[in-house]
Amino acid sequence: MGTSQRCTNKRSQLKHQTNRDSLALIESCMCVLCLDEPSGLEARDTTRALLMLHGGGREKNGANRWYDKSMQFVVGMDGVCGVVCEHSPFEGIVLVQCSEYVMKYIIGSPSKMATASSVRELPPPRRLLWKCNPHIQGLLAASGDRLERLVNNLDMDVFKFKVYGKEFIKKQKMSPDAFIQVALQLAFYKCSGRLVSTYESASLRRFQEGRVDNIRSATPEALAFVKSMTDERATYTDAEKMKRLMDAINAQTNNTVAAITGMAIDNHLLGLLKIAKELNMEKPEIFCDETYLASNQFILSTSQVPTTVEMFCCYGPVVPNGYGACYNPQSDHIIFCVSSFWENTETSSAVFVKVLNDGLVEIRDLCNRSSATATKLADVSQGASKPHKSGK
């Protein structure tokens, strides 16, 4: 081998090793800090959600992310801050607890944060070196184009429902989470005239190495309730609607308890499917059935992520014709983050939010009317039970 060829090979190896070293450093770090340029967009909740998810695209901060990293802290020059989570290592509640700890520490101890004794010295930042050739540049350009298409397709609507929050729901002796899930079913039914496979995450953290299972919220009881609420012939009385609401909430609550205690169906079926594959078995017939396949197309993907400080979580849909619906019930309001894709004509985040708002108000009115009726009947019954005074 000639000297010139040896030098060329060495240079190629050095280029390759430079990239390897930079990648290794990123992959071994605990988190990534993304320092964003000003977005130039209106600072509202929906905009903040989009900037966290995709940075506003290639022309803004879309390239200032490393989405394979478990945790990215985003700090913008215009004050837009948040955390981006890659879901594989942990659930949303872990991210919330970490973020709340940081926020409470900053809010509660500003002077402590400033003292030298409380801050650990970190090594100064250093620039990571990269060696790119025309092929890599072409891949980067193609990735930028794909990012733009994804950014332009995401329809996000962050909606704060201010009429009431979880305190009103608790006064009805109902689970806030089950109540909101039934309201989401009502909203989807109003939009499409049907219910669909719905995913609600159920934490399995009580089990060693547990992650999540699925609470299937589209129950027969929920269907019965939403039909009674949308019956144009007005053949259902408030008492009948209220009974169906309670049945739907009880069914949702029972499914939730079953899921978080390891008694749901989805993880067990997934385990059987994976075992069959590991044993080189022919795929069991159940996993080829169209009903099973349809049941795992989660057109409505939901999650409750409650917080104790003012923040919210969001994500995109999991199927092209679906919705993502993350919600955060607070004492006197509920924050919803509803997402869909613009290119699908069956979905619209703005329409879903409008219908969801109307449905939540209708359910409140139903509860209030039923409560007033029950109070009136109790007063009448109490009056009838009092002994009559007889005159002399």
In the set 16, 54, 87, 135, the catalytic residue is 87
Query: CA 184 to CA 198: how far, in whole Å?
Result: 10
H-type alpha helices, 109-214:
110-114, 134-153, 166-171, 176-192
Query: CA 34 to CA 64: how far, in whole Å?
Result: 6
Q: What is the DSSP string of 251-300?
A: HHHHHHHHHHTT--SHHHHHHHHHHHHHTTPPPPGGGGSHHHHHHT--SE
Nearest Cα to Cα of residue 336 among 192, 217, 187: 187
Residue 118 tokens read as 């409380």
How would you class 385 by CB atoms within 10 Å of its CB: exposed for 0-12, middle for 13-18, buried for 19 or more?
exposed
Q: Is 72 helix (H, G, I), strand (E, B) or coil?
A: strand
Residue 279 tokens read as 């044993």
Residue 325 tokens read as 């619906």
Query: CA 336 to CA 171: how far, in whole Å?
Result: 21
In the block, residue with structure tokens 């060495």: 10
Structural contact between residues 215 and 180, judged by C-beta atoms closer than 8 angstroms: no
Is 333 marked active-site? no
390 CB-near residues (< 8 Å, 6+ apart)? none
327 to 159, 201, 231, 311, 334: CA distances (angstroms): 9, 12, 27, 11, 7
For residue 60, the surrounding DSSP H or E stretch is none
Report the catalytic residues: 87
